[in-house]
Amino acid sequence: MEGPWWTKSVELKYGSQFYYYYCKQRGRIENNHNLDDIMQTVMDHIKAEKMYDPRNPSIAILGEPLETLLNVKYCAYSDLLKFVKRHFRGQFPEIDFNKKSNRTYMVDFSDTDETIRVYKKHVLEDFNLSDMFVPSKELREVMLSIETRLDPNQEAFHLKDIFLTVKQYLLVNKTRLYDVRNMNVAIIKGELLEKAFKCMCFGSSQLPRLVLSEVEPV
């Protein structure tokens, strides 16, 4: 019986820069590699060098040599394997880490959807998109910084409109807020959104939770 994906044996591209990096971090030359050992070695290095957003530690901010080796600067821990596996020999199967629909985590809904499901404080909750919420002063500033149909004199907004406006803000400013090497992480250091979300960067799956932390129900 095949074991869990993290126990899988993999072969690094011998002689590659990543191979030498891995052996240096391990303190020895290794020819047999366990996927869990490789990933743990990379993550231990990130943590030891504090290569992450201190206000959002689930997002790594890679320095050298990892940024060059993995060709990415900002990366969620859950996405690290996607960049590391480029250094494996042969084909490595895609892994479905989350068998639930992405709609559970992303700000992605249709015109007919009435609720959005979001993890908040480690609990999965349903929020009615038509309910009225008052955004924080900082989030309100973000929402009104772009051209929208929102009434600037209005105090409360439908939750759906808040989500869509923040998403529109990210799209309008995407050339400034995203590194093309990884479009799953928004870089908001020095931006209005940093004041609202209180972090330097965040993963796309974190957006619903961050928005809900800055609104109050009416």
Task: Give residues with Cβ within 8 angstroms of 52, minimum separation 6.
Answer: 46, 58, 59, 60, 61
**Residue 20: enclosing H or E segment and its boundaries?**
helix 17-26
pLDDT score at 1 = 46
pLDDT score at 7 = 65
Cis status of the peptide bond prior to 65, with omega within 30 of 0: yes
Delimit the domains of the chain by residue range: 5-87, 102-217
Per CATH, 5-87 and 102-217 having the same topology is answered yes
Compute and round to an integer the Cα radius of gyration of the chain. Answer: 20
Rounded to an integer, what distance in angstroms lies between the CA atom of residue 68 and that of residue 100? 33
Q: Nearest Cα to 135, choosing from 20, 33, 217, 12?
A: 217
Name the fold adopted by 102-217: MDM2 (1.10.245)
pLDDT by 10s per residue, the chain, length 218: 455 555 678 888 888 899 999 999 999 887 778 888 999 999 999 999 999 999 999 999 999 999 999 999 999 988 999 899 889 887 665 555 444 333 333 445 555 567 777 766 666 778 888 999 999 999 999 999 998 888 989 999 999 999 999 999 999 999 999 999 999 999 999 999 999 999 999 998 899 889 999 999 99
What the block records as the tokens of 215 is: 């609104």
- According to DSSP, residue 27 is labeled T
The CATH H-level superfamily of 5-87 is SWIB/MDM2 domain (1.10.245.10)
Read off the pTM: 0.82
